[in-house]
Amino acid sequence: MSLCSSFNVFASYSPKPRTSFKNSNFVSQFQVKSSPLASTFQFHGSSTSLMFSRARLKPISSLDSGISEIATSSSFRNKSPKDVNVLVVGSTGYIGRFVVKELIKRGFNVIAVAREKSGIRGKNDKEETLKQLQGANVCFSDVTELDVLEKSVENLGFGIDVVVSCLASRNGGIKDSWKIDYEATKNSLLAGKKFGAKHFVLLSAICVQKPLLEFQRAKLKFEAELMDLAENKDPSFSYSIVRPTAFFKSLGGQVDIVKDGKPYVMFGDGKLCACKPISEQDLAAFIADCVLEENKINQVLPIGGPGKALTPLEQGEILFRILGREPKFLKVPIEIMDFVIGVLDFIAKIFPSVGEAAEFGKIGRYYAAESMLILDPETGEYSEEKTPSYGKDTLEDFFKKVIREGMAGQELGEQFF
């Protein structure tokens, strides 16, 4: 689930329609890196029709040489990026798109896994997806079905060096969290490892350090299994777990409201929580660093953006200053959320289907009161000083951009893959 402002979460979360992907007639389509001679080719079940130029992408670590040879070596770290095959799942999600672009910019051979209908509510068809992921080799598959995903990777015709997972549940609901944050992410690990991957970069979330929500528990379960694999079962395998703070877009939901003259809404006195927000570009760069940098091997890596931690009150003050207006705040008692959640929990005992709605309320409550900073185990307090900073993009610059250009294309929620 993407990080989001507590007010927007509480106000807008509702169960979303789900899509099932049980297609027995597997179709995998790839787009090769842009080139006058490049072309697209397809696999249809067991029969294969190929149309491509010899000038297309040269597959690295060919399966003809044997996956066993790949699996016994992590020598990809000694290679040039162009010789490293990186499988990205969650490639059409909000952060995933930035990660794909960053990896391509650095010269990696990127294989981006996507649904045939991607984006929020499956609004993007294959053509749109290929445009969004231009420069990557796009593989249409289904991460929720292990056998389908394994067939997709096998049909690539070459091995995988690194898997980067940007998968996130669409709405943070109970069922979706376990299906995506745990099961689909685990499928990506198993499929990648089967075909040679020796390193797994996981986009997680800093909030898992205090797990009160179902999506946090699902993420933690996968994290634990990933660490156990690398540290106890297969020492030749490695991981990097990235736990970012809030994303810029999760804090931009009230820009238009304030721009229209309405007050900035916050819970309590606006000082209940704080974060060191990081831009999508900076986060993508940090994730790309994890592919080859040895100092990030087998590490849990919390990361925030540059500058001091900001409370909702300070975020609002920045916004009013940019607009040149006198600050005007609407303070909402957080006890209102507690009351609503209590009612929903009670109803859920009688009507279990209401449990999802109660979970959405708990998500809003969590982000209203919990800081997206390192939780110091010694003091039990959130620590701005212990939360690492990375990048150069500031929230103030982001607000200025949103005031000019709006939030179009930065929709929250339903980040499936």
Which residues have CB under 8 Å from 180's CB, separation 6+? 144, 167, 168, 169, 170, 218, 416, 417
Q: What are phi and psi of 91, to 5 degrees?
A: -70, -20
pLDDT of 123 reads: 67
Report pLDDT for 126. Answer: 83
Q: Check pLDDT > 60 for residue 12.
A: no
* Beta-bridge partners for 303: 244
Tokens of 149: 């995903």
**Higher-confidence residue: 257 or 7?**
257
pLDDT in tens, 205-261: 999 999 999 999 999 999 999 999 999 999 999 999 999 999 998 899 899 999 999
pTM of the predicted model over 0.85: no
pLDDT in tens, 338-391: 899 999 888 988 988 888 898 999 999 999 999 999 999 999 999 999 999 999
Give the helix/strand (H/E) hosting 316: helix 312-323
CA dist., res. 150 & res. 132, Å (int) = 24
Q: Where are the alpha helices (DSSP H) in 134-178?
A: 146-156, 174-176
**Range of weakest confidence among 64-78, 110-124, 256-270, 363-377:** 64-78
Q: Percentage of the chain with pLDDT > 70? A: 78
Q: How far from 317 is each of 9, 175, 311, 327, 328, CA to CA, in Å?
A: 21, 38, 10, 6, 9
pLDDT digits (tens, 9 = 90+) for 301-316: 999 999 999 999 999 9
What's the pLDDT at 353? 84
pLDDT given for residue 389 in this prediction: 97
Q: Tell me, what's the pLDDT at 411?
A: 54
Domain 77-247+277-303 sits in CATH at 3.40.50.720
Cβ(32)–Cβ(57) below 8 Å = yes
**CA-CA-CA-CA torsion sign (81, 86, 88, 91):** positive
Radius of gyration of the chain (CA): 22
